[in-house]
Amino acid sequence: MPTPLKRQIADTLRGQILSGKWSEGTRIKEEALADRFGVSRGPIRDVMLELSKEGLLRALPNRGVSINRLPTRKARRIFLRTRRDLETLALQDGFPHWSPDDLMAREKILRHFRVAAEFGDLSEVIEYDIAFHRSIIESYREENLLVLWLPLMTTMAMPYSRHHDLMESYQEHENILATLKEGDLQQALRLLKSHIQ
């Protein structure tokens, strides 16, 4: 199966899980998903493995795959602190190497984010929210922080409910990028730390 289609399936399922379409503990069946997306069970199995690594799904022997439990309050505090540290490290060390093309790529993400927020499309808001933060992590070229960061990001976002007004979420991201475009890295770091809650 082409990688873009597999990624599209993963993005769709991730958005539905994070938007609360399924409650924790709901069983996820390969066969039903394969029928829904018109693909064989093999690619669905690959996607489910990917989402399990992200902490969204939980596989138990002889019990199948289900939506993972929400983290405890104590675990959330640990995840939050770790995610904040990873993103601020990535931005602090990566931003000096950003090119004009890098800024334009992030502007493009936020244009899509704004449209999704205006239309109230929660699944797409989640997709572009994650894409924006992922772009910060990926700009840190010294080490592959993505393998540490992605499960933290997705687990903390279960369910995506911090903002009742999706435009408020968009605006916080826009403020971070606007500050970076002005070259004020220290203020952008402050905004990023404040944003990650």
Place of tokens 């493009």: 108
Three-class secondary structure of residue 71 per DSSP: coil
Give dist(CA 17, CA 24) in Å, integer. Answer: 9
Together in a domain, 102 and 187: yes
Together in a domain, 56 and 78: no
Structure tokens at 129: 């929210």
pLDDT category of residue 195 using cuts at 50, 70 and 90: very high
- Cα-to-chain-centroid distance, residue 172: 16
Together in a domain, 105 and 45: no
**pLDDT value of residue 71:** 86
Together in a domain, 82 and 177: yes
For the chain, the average pLDDT equals 90
- Say if residue 142's pLDDT is above 80: no
Place of tokens 């687990």: 155
Write down which residue in 39, 67, 95 finishes a domain: 67
Q: Are 22 and 67 in contact (CB under 8 A)?
A: yes
- Say if residue 3's pLDDT is above 70: no
Domain that holds residue 59: 3-67
pTM: 0.85
**pLDDT value of residue 63:** 81
Question: For residue 61, what is the domain's CATH number?
Answer: 1.10.10.10
**pLDDT value of residue 140:** 87
pLDDT category of residue 16 using cuts at 50, 70 and 90: confident
Together in a domain, 35 and 95: no
Number of domains in the chain: 2
Place of tokens 């999706």: 166
